[in-house]
Amino acid sequence: MEDFITAVFCCVDDLLKEVTNGKPMRSRGFQASLSDSEVITMEIVAEFQGIDTDKGIW
**Cβ(44)–Cβ(11) below 8 Å:** no
**Spatial CB neighbours of 51, under 8 Å, sequence gap ≥ 6:** 57
pLDDT value for 53: 84
Q: Is 27 exposed, middle or buried (0-12, 13-18, 19+ CB in 10 A)?
A: exposed
pLDDT value for 24: 78
DSSP secondary structure code for residue 53 in this structure = S
Calculate mean pLDDT across residues 29-49. 92
pLDDT value for 16: 95
How much is the mean pLDDT over the chain? 90
Q: At residue 57, does pLDDT exceed 80?
A: no
